[in-house]
Chain A
Amino acid sequence: MAEPSSKPNTTVFAPWTDPNAVPLIRFKNVTKRFGDFTAIDDLTLDIYEREFFALLGPSGCGKTTMMRMLAGFENPTDGTIEIGGQDMTGVPPNLRAVNMMFQSYALFPHLSVFDNIAFGLKRSDMPKTEIPDRVNEMLRLTRLEKFAKRKPHQISGGQRQRVALARSLAKAPKLLLLDEPLGALDKKLREETQFELMDIQEKTGTTFVIVTHDQEEAMTVASRVAVMDAGIIKQVDTPAAIYEAPNSVYVADFIGDVNLIEGTASASGEHAYDITYAEGVPPIKVSECTQDVAEGARVTFAIRPEKILVSQTPPEDRANTLEGTIIDIGYLGNLSTYHVELPGGQMVKATMTNSSRISRRDFTWEDKVWLSFRASAGVVLGE
């Protein structure tokens, strides 16, 4: 069973921060229109070599269109796409150093596993004598040696997925595109495969671009995630940055759970603001803000549920303490989620791990509790 490869974290992989690094893929003001419908709107993006890059967004946001333009199945209406410094306009799919792993796997039903993997190699410059060795190497990489002679309908769904992966990696492409590769797998297999994919990506040094609507998947595998909505990229960042420092309500809301409280901002110090959200209660103190906010502007304060502590008495060491009533409790085994109503009527969600085993819980419905969190625990968002 695959496990995440342990490597000493001496150098952090972050070519996007290096001013000298040359991106492998460049989208330059790319627009794609289908008739009246604009799928991609003036999009500019750089993706670097060896990245495991995720395009994340709901159905219809344009992520699949971006992928198909990289593969060569669609051409941009405006703008250019460069791969390896070469303008790809008009270059057909069969002449690109790009390979794709299809959502439905698209395995050729009339060919064996071996012949499926060899298919692309037979149409490349590789000498015929070297092809079987390469195919066997791919079979070993994806642990499919025993199934080489079988046809796609004679193997299971998870095995088919690995054949699709092996086939798409056989030509050692500069760029591998993965279209919702794990959607058809059950949860346990999906988790195993996620780590396998990361392993293979590192071993082969290929640049992966994955398209998915599953934010957990994107967060797990990707080095950077681009959150998309309606043809526009909202934010491109590492998973940690996306989660802890979203730049908009859309991104904050799309990834994981978040509490959104609207209020008015007033400056209270360097990179610090007070957010007034209700009458008669102290404002929320926010520090370490990365954005500048105008005095008196309407803002949304976003804080993740796990950053909020629920206690029966107000703690001394937290900057923010709010009083509330427990309306609902969700018990999930490892976590409990508390839905707490504030005096102003806002609902706040707080999660805490159930770190003790005793069956008698501290809190129950209708309890009056104190929510507390640090000043740096949340972010202020413009819209």
Chain B
Amino acid sequence: MRRLSWFNATSLTLGFAFLYMPMIILVVYSFNESRLVTVWAGFSTKWYGELFRNEAFLDAAWVTLRVAVFSSTLATILGTAAAYVLVRGGKFFGKTLFSGMIYAPLVMPDVILGLSLLLLFIAVGLDRGMLTIILAHTTFAMCYVAVVVSSRLVSFDRSLEEAALDLGCTPWDAFRSVTLPIIAPAVISGWLLGFTLSLDDLVIASFASGPSSTTLPIKIFSAVRLGVSPEINALSSILIGFVTIGVITFSISTKRAVVRRQREENAVT
């Protein structure tokens, strides 16, 4: 086992401490009796109670969740198609433009994306509401999905698809029965990525939403512009908790699958 030099060990510790300290602090202070961060007044869960009694927050959370599910599902379908076109499409008219449109949104500042989409909705006379947010989120999320899935497709063994065709599949059947099951982890990662980005988006949602469709990030933003808010601490801790459980579960199950597979392969050779 390779030993870490003291320099590397220190970098790792400091780096991760920097990354996690703020989140840990939030969680700790969400249980603070006092409203202020400066004073620790005892353990209390009252802010969690306040949070759940706040109708506005709950409504916004429900909107946000639905938007995230719809947009990431739509984005996964469009993004997977885009990835397939990018990797297997060969040369076609306008491929450079297509490729540019996939990569540009990944780095484009949100304010530009948000502004342009809003102006589009106004121009075509589409009322702003949940639909417009879904359309907006789908657009940038599909690019992320496309990048994740195309990266998997590039290393995909094409002879598997040829074997499927050889054995009697139409191209769509080959994709559905062979390619898709094998690239499924990448497709699922794409969905999760789109889901998180949608859940988290503030700027684009601010441009694309209407009066009746406030999302959670918009609500959080207006609350925290002025200062620290203990209900937001509680909300943050809940979100962090969900994400942590999700990521840890995912890591453990992947690791178990990898270990199991290694053992099976070793047993054969």
| Direct A–B touching, Cβ under 8 Å | yes
- Given A108-B178, A110-B182, also A102-B168 (CB < 8 A): no
Q: Tell me whether B169 and A123 are in contact (CB under 8 A).
A: yes
Q: Which residues of A contact B165 (CB under 8 A)?
A: 72-73, 92-94
Q: Does B264 contact A (CB under 8 A)?
A: yes
User: Is there contact, CB below 8 Å, between A104 and B268?
Assistant: no
The answer to whether A94 touches B162 (Cβ under 8 A) is no
- Contact A94-B160, Cβ < 8 Å, known A109-B182, A156-B269: no
Is B159 in contact with A106, judged by CB distance below 8 angstroms? yes
- Using a CB-CB cutoff of 8 Å, which residues 147-178 of chain A contact chain B? 153-156, 167-168, 171
A23 at the interface (CB under 8 A from B): no
Contact with B along A117-143 (1 / 0, CB 8 A): 001100110000000000000000000
A13 vs B268: C-alpha distance when bound (angstroms): 41
The reply on A99 being an interface residue by CB < 8 A is yes
Q: Are A99 and B265 in contact (CB under 8 A)?
A: no
**Restricting to A51-93, which residues have a CB under 8 Å from any CB of B?**
71-73, 92-93
Question: Are A153's CB and B164's CB within 8 A?
Answer: no
Contact of A154 among B157, B163, B177, B268 (CB under 8 A): B268
- Please, which residue of chain A has its CB at the minimum distance from the CB of B173? A123
Contact A120 B268 (CB under 8 A): no
Q: Within 8 Å CB of B211, what residues of A?
A: none
Q: From known contacts A106-B157, A106-B160, infer whether A171 and B168 are also in contact, taking CB-CB under 8 Å.
A: yes
B268 touches A99 (CB 8 A): no
Given A108-B160, A108-B178: A154 in contact with B264 (beta carbons within 8 A): yes
Structural contact, B166 and A156, CB atoms closer than 8 A: no
8 Å CB interface, B123-158 against A: 157
Whether A100 sits at the interface, judged by CB under 8 Å, is yes
Number of interface residues of A (CB under 8 A): 27
Set of chain B residues within 8 Å of A72, measured between Cβ atoms: 165-166
- Name B166's contact: one of A99, A108, A109, A110 (CB within 8 Å): A99
B166 cross-chain contacts in A, Cβ below 8 A: 71-72, 93-94, 98-100, 168
Interface size on B, residues (CB 8 A): 23
Are A119 and B162 neighbours in the complex by a CB distance under 8 Å?
A: no
A367 and B181 alpha carbons, distance in the complex (Å): 70
Question: Which residue of B162, B168, B178 has the most chain A CB atoms within 10 A of its CB atom?
Answer: B168
Task: For A94, give its contact among B157, B169, B267, B269 (CB under 8 Å).
Answer: B169
Residue of A nearest to B262 (CB): A153
Chain B positions within 8 Å of A109 at CB level: 182
**Most chain B CB inside 10 Å of its own CB: which residue of A73, A100, A171:** A100
Residue in B159, B261, B265, B269 whose CB lies within 8 Å of A104: B159
A73, A119, A155: the one within 8 Å of B167 (CB): A119
Chain A CB within 8 A of B170 CB: yes
**CB-defined contacts of A98 to chain B, threshold 8 Å:** 166
Residues of chain B lying within 8 A (CB to CB) of residue A71: 162, 166
Known: A94-B169, A94-B170, A106-B157. A153 touches B163 (CB 8 A): no
A167 to chain B, nearest CB (A): 7
- Give complex CA distance A154, B261 in Å: 9
Are A106 and B162 closer than 8 Å at their CB atoms? yes
Residues from chain B with a CB closer than 8 A to the CB of A120 are 167-168
Q: Report the separation of the CA atoms of residues A108 and B156 in the bound assembly, to the nearest whole angstrom.
A: 12
For A92, what are the chain B residues with a Cβ–Cβ distance below 8 Å?
165
A155 contacts B160, C-beta separation under 8 Å: no
The listed residue (A104, A119, A155, A171) touching B164 by CB distance below 8 A is A119
Nearest 7 A/B pairs, CB to CB: A120-B167, A123-B168, A106-B163, A106-B159, A93-B165, A110-B181, A94-B168
Q: Which residues of B contact A (CB under 8 A)?
A: 157, 159-160, 162-170, 173, 177-178, 181-182, 261, 264-265, 267-269
